[in-house]
Structure 1
Amino acid sequence: MTFSIAARCERTGAFGVAVSSSSPAVAARCAFVRGGVGAACSQNITNPQLGPAMLDRLAAGDNAQGALDAVVAGEEFSAYRQLTVVDASGRAATFSGDKTLGIHGSATGPNVAAAGNLLSSAQIPQSMVDDFAHTGALPLEERLLSVLRVALDAGGEAGPVHSVGLLVIGDAPWPVTDLRVDFHDDPIGELGRLWELWAPQAADYITRGLDPRLAPAYGVPGDE
């Protein structure tokens, strides 16, 4: 009931995750990024502990495959889990346990890993990776949104999609973008609208956090 992408921008070093599902609030439990370290997803019958665990392994010096292998080996119910991870060098790894739901698949490329379960086609993750490879000039958020649209147009999940999230971290100590649509009839379309609202303001909110003296005015009554 999920398709997702974890990725690294080869131009900026930013990490991001985009994930969509038929269940509500998917990004709250499936999407994980850490600046300078990596991006990871934990999905299928989800254990939200596994994403941070993979990032911890990357931070300790493992590459993507090593981090994933260590976490799978330590997970009692690994057969139920589907995992993806991308490291700071752009290496990627995926895992789908024997009890991954329905039609499922995964694919990797330089700086990207995609996976899905209960899909309309096992080829969808490869189409996601292919799209990511062809959009390198765009901001990472827009590349990830493009991938979600490609996956949806290719058939997406076997059932309706209801929730989606977009999580990106760059040089700041916190995610510059953390947008979620927790339940909606057109969550990917709604996420695109949220991105159009957020994109012009994103850098200003980083400035407000790091040095409010340089921050632009809020444009609300009483703000001078």
Structure 2
Amino acid sequence: MTFSLVARCAETGMFGVAVSSSSPAVAARCAYARAGVGAVASQNVTDPTLGPACLDLMQAGASAREAVAELVSQRDYMAFRQLLAVDARGVVAIHSGAKALGVVGEATGAGVVSAGNLLAAPGVPAAVVAGFEAATGHLGDRLVAAMQAGLAAGGEAGPVHSAGMMLVDKVAWPVAELRCDWDDAGAPIAAMARAWDVYKPQLEDYVTRALDPSEAPSYGVPGDA
């Protein structure tokens, strides 16, 4: 009941994850990324421990393929899981267990991998990857375009209600973590896109505010000097 992608920007080294689902708060359970290391999506009867574990393995020197293979061989219940990863070299990997739900699909590209379950059609992840590869600009723009392409290709078999996007760059925290945890109208990807349009121009300012508040621009709120 989820479709997602993880990706690395070849120009900047930034990593990102985007995900949408009919379940609530999908990004809280499924999206993981670490600056300089990689990005991971853990989905389909989700085990939230898989994301950090995969990132730990890659940080210790494993490739995305090695990290995913090790987890598949060592963890219980991997037949129920989907796990997507991209590493610092842009190598991608994916595991879709035999008990993944409904129509399952997966697709890879250069530095990007997408997968889904309970899909409207098995080609949805290929549409996500194609949307990412056709888009230009900031990694966040490309993630949004990819998810919109997946939705246009059918998305889930039923309406989606939550979506989220995480970006990491050169600092230890996510430089963007935007979520729509529930949308009754079934348009969480559109809500995520609107949030990104608002946040994108301020992204670097929030990093500056953390690193050197004396250089921070105005907060633009009532009472700010």
TM-score (norm 2): 0.97
Deviations, residues 51-75 of structure 1 (Å, cap 9, x unaligned): 1111001001000100000111111
Equivalent residue letter for 2:145: S
Q: Quick one: which amino acid aligns to residue 173 of structure 2? A: W
The answer to whether structure 1 residue 183 and structure 2 residue 182 are counterparts is yes
TM-fit CA distance, 1:134: 2.0
Q: What SS is found at the alignment partner of 2:201?
A: coil
* Structure 2 CA distance for aligned equivalents of residues 221 and 93 of structure 1: 47
Match of 2:14 in 1: 14
Partner of 2:45: 45
- Counterpart of 1:141 in structure 2 is 140
Percent sequence identity is 52
Structure 1 outlier segments of 4+, above 4 Å: none
- State the distance in 1 between where 2:223 and 2:151 align: 44
What letter is aligned with 2:61? Answer: G
Range moving further from structure 2, 43-52 or 167-176: 167-176
How many angstroms does 1:130 deviate by? 1.8
- 2:33 aligned residue: 33
Q: Which residue number in structure 1 is paired with residue 102 of structure 2?
A: 102
- What are structure 1's unaligned runs of at least 5 residues? none
Report the counterpart of residue 207 of structure 2 in structure 1. 206
How much does 1:207 deviate? 0.3
1:138, distance to aligned residue in structure 2 (A): 1.1
**1 CA distance for matches of 2:224 and 2:193?**
29
Q: Tell me what 2:220 maps to.
A: 219
What SS class does the counterpart of residue 158 from structure 2 fall into? coil
Distance in 1, matches of 2:109 and 2:223, equals 50
Provide the aligned length of Structure 1 versus Structure 2: 223
User: Deviations 1:103-152 (Å, cap 9, x if unpaired)?
Assistant: 001111111010000001111111211222222x3100010000110000
**Take 2:41 and 2:54, find their aligned partners in 1: how far apart are those partners?**
9
Task: Name the CA distance, whole Å, in 2 between partners of 1:59 and 1:39.
Answer: 11
Q: CA RMSD in A?
A: 0.8
2-structure distance, mates of 1:67, 1:165: 24
Give me the whole-angstrom Cα distance separating, in 2, the residues matched to 1:116 and 1:218. 39
